[in-house]
Structure 1
Amino acid sequence: MNIKISLYLLSLLTLLVSCQTSEELKSEQYFVEGYQLYTANCANCHQAEGGGMANLYPPVDGSAILSDKAMIACIIRNGMKDTIMVNGKTFSRPMPPNPKLTEIEIAEIVSFVTMKWGKDSVYTRIETVKEALTACKEYPQGAGL
């Protein structure tokens, strides 16, 4: 009897997974890979739950920047030297650039943070990141961001 139930549940699970669209699958993939990249490259300062670190590093969670994927991509690649205000607090520590991250890795991080703490439910396309990184190349590293 347990074998029949197990086979039924396996069949049901297979059916549910196969009902996902390619966009849903890609969103899940980018979210998971973005989480791993965020953990390795960002969480040390911005913390695993995106709350930042006291008055040193700004939170990602609740930040208005989550609505601007191009800006997030530029900041990840080029870093940031400006003083910024996030959730009513001022932060002036520079963020170092991450030039070793590839465009796809940046797209995955942007996908993760905008889906986790923003209002987005769909992954960030690599074309969006490529366009953003091309546009922000005209600025000196971190300036104006």
Structure 2
Amino acid sequence: MNTRNKVRVFVFVKSIAMSLLMLAVCCQSAEELKSEQYFVEGYQLYTTNCSNCHQVDGKGMLNLYPPISGSQTLSDKALLACIIKNGMRDTILVNGRKFSRPMPPNAKLSDIEVAEIVTYVTVKWGKDSIYTKIEAVRSSLANCKKY
């Protein structure tokens, strides 16, 4: 096959792939698209702000930093939002192990960014399948206790 035909095949395959991608996106509901958007943004924010201690795989770091994967905290989005934004000073029990190292606050994160991180960790390591709404995070953050 000569170069001109290779280019034609490549362009043809690329156009089919783009058409299939557009068809897949068009068939998703607004909720599914929002869930995917929050998950992807949450992944990036988690990687930047959380993975240094909690690790990329969510398993924490030895006895220093608790795992997120398998944590009961994943079932309490309000608590999770408060911890992400305000940090934590208390001892926490995760998977039968105590962790006492303080977690610094992430005061610079906006409410939407907290919602995206909560979405990422609860979908990735929890049993959730939809995004965490910003209104729920705002309500949680307005009612945070000191941890």
Normalised by the length of structure 2, the TM-score is: 0.89
> How far apart are the structure 2 equivalents of 1:4 and 1:100?
46
Calculate the aligned-residue CA RMSD, in Å.
1.4
Structure 1 residue runs of 4+, over 2 Å off?
1-13
Report the CA distance between 1:11 and its aligned residue: 2.4
> How far apart are the structure 2 equivalents of 1:100 and 1:34?
15
> How far apart are the structure 1 equivalents of 2:15 and 2:87?
51
Secondary structure in 2 matching 1:133 = helix
Q: Which amino acid aligns with 2:139?
A: E
Secondary structure in 2 matching 1:82 = coil
Secondary structure in 2 matching 1:90 = strand
**What does the per-residue CA deviation read over 1:61-115, in whole Å, with 9 as the maximum and x for residues that have no partner?**
0001101100000001111111111011110101111111100000000000000
2:79 to 71, 79, 93: 71
- 1:1-145 equivalences under 5 Å are 2=9, 4=12, 6-136=14-144, 139=145, 143=146, 145=147
Identical amino acids, percent of aligned pairs: 64
How many residues in Structure 1 have an aligned counterpart in Structure 2?
139
Q: Which runs of 5+ in 2 are unaligned?
A: 1-7
Structure with higher Rg: it is: 2
Secondary structure in 2 matching 1:39 = helix
**What does the per-residue CA deviation read over 1:7-39, in whole Å, with 9 as the maximum and x for residues that have no partner?**
444323221111011111111110111011111
Q: Which runs of 5+ in 1 are unaligned?
A: none
Secondary structure in 2 matching 1:59 = coil
Normalised by the length of structure 1, the TM-score is: 0.90
> How far apart are the structure 2 equivalents of 1:106 and 1:6?
37
Q: Which amino acid aligns with 1:80?
A: M
> How far apart are the structure 2 equivalents of 1:6 and 1:77?
43
> How far apart are the structure 2 equivalents of 1:8 and 1:105?
35
